[in-house]
A and B are shown apart, each in its own frame.
Chain A
Amino acid sequence: MQLYSPLSTPPKRQAVRAPALADLKGTRIGILENGKLNAEEMLSEVAALFVERHGCTVRMMSSKSNASAPAPANMLVALAQDVDFLITGLGD
């Protein structure tokens, strides 16, 4: 008996990671919060640690209107132009 696999047969996609920052000192932080109850507070606390320990500056805070959907591409493009790295995460 021959059975078809029910799984997806995706083409191989090229996915690359962004290069790691050589040094955190003086870098610019963006914050992407997802609208959950404590997201802004939690992410701001994390950012404050980078400011304190590495002399970073917080440049941008963006908010997603839908916590469970990917951030809109134009939001990510705008963030990428003004920051060196982005802090994001859940904040229930």
Chain B
Amino acid sequence: MAALAPRIHEVPDDLLAAIDYCYEQGWTDGLPVVPPAVDRVNALLAADSRAPQTVIARHPATGLELTLHAAAVNAVMAGCLPEYLPVLVAALEAMDRPDFNFHGSTASTGGSAPLLIVSGPYADEIGMNGDVNLFGPGNRPNATIGRAVRLILRNVFQMLPGISDKSTQGNPGKYSFCIAERARGNPWPLLCQAQGYGNGVSSVTVFAGGGFCNVENHGGNTPEQILGSVADAMANYGCITLGQSVVILAPEHMHIIAGAGWTREQAQDFLFSHARRSVEGMKEVGKYREREYDRQHGEGAHARAEAGFVHRGLAPDDILITMGGGDAGGHSCFIPSWSRGRGSIMQHAAIRT
């Protein structure tokens, strides 16, 4: 059965009153939104050649559907420009895959937020930031694409705080959590290349991020010292699980690691081997679970999972590593995945332009 035609609300020609009207309808994330005027939505829809009623994602439990049209309405409200729509659509297509489990990661007490990492030339084309103040405010596409994802979760999929979104504490990324991978000076293949997309094809990676952990190291001068401090952050008792990880290396840290000839794969191996806790230690804090240990150490498990220890993740490629941030400062970050286990697996999709 086809979806119903989008509903139109008639409001007075008064922009401030229209902003208040959006508040009254419960359509906002707490911040003012751009009223989704019909002509502005239609201008956004022109950025995608498909029919507005094309379904790009479905809620697995309620059956609520996200159409291209609804994506554009929420994108306008978030402050997006038409050229941002392909990134938003690709992100939602990736989130729609069952393994990402966006219902679970949004509804859970865990309080994660979908982190979007945009890789490739399209990030520069639309003016995204992969540089200084990477996760901070000030860049329109970073801020508004991430915000549009949140508004879609709220308005289209009805993941409402306190009702269907039961985050115990949430996290600031639930307003917006979107960055570009820094291409300038990046010594490693970009994520879109490592993911196997063709020349000139950009991608967006989505990850249910459970927070943000700054990794400060201004004294280390070797890959082992820098990655050792990252591994320690990954294995802290509060964070360690079998879940996946995202590590964004500051350029200063990246130059130490890649300058010593280390590849992304070597860094992943090092982090997987070192981000671990002993079984005794896990028992002391009450977090040890035999069946999780068995999963990591059982038949066919990765050889680097050392007996008597619980590592973060199941294998080195559970750790996404790339570069981002400004030139100055020994500040990298680790972002843990949501869930105590493997509740959400990161996904990526090509950006169709």
Contact = CB atoms under 8 A, between A and B. Distances in A.
Interface in A36-66: 37, 66
B269 to A, nearest CB: 27
A76 interface: no
Nearest to A70: B60
Main secondary structure on chain B at its contact with chain A?
loop
Contacts of A2: 8-11, 37-38
Contacts of B156: 6-8
Contacts of B18: 1, 3
A9 B35 CA distance: 19
A37 B289 CA distance: 8
B126 to A, nearest CB: 22
A5 B27 CA distance: 9
Interface residues of A, number: 20
Contacts of B1: 11-12
Contacts of B228: none
Name which of A6, A13, A69 has the most chain B CB atoms within 10 A of its CB.
A6
Contact of A9 (B6, B36, B107, B339): B6
Given A3-B21, A7-B7, A66-B101, 9 more contacts: A2-B8, A3-B35, A4-B38, A5-B73, A8-B67, A8-B157, A9-B3, A10-B4, A66-B341
Interface of B: 1-14, 18, 21-22, 27, 35-38, 41, 60-61, 63-67, 69-70, 73-74, 77, 98, 101, 103-105, 107-108, 151, 155-158, 289, 339, 341-343
25 contacts: A1-B13, A2-B8, A2-B9, A3-B11, A3-B18, A4-B9, A4-B37, A4-B73, A6-B156, A7-B70, A7-B155, A8-B66, A8-B67, A8-B156, A9-B5, A11-B3, A66-B342, A66-B343, A68-B101, A68-B104, A68-B108, A68-B339, A69-B60, A69-B343, A70-B61
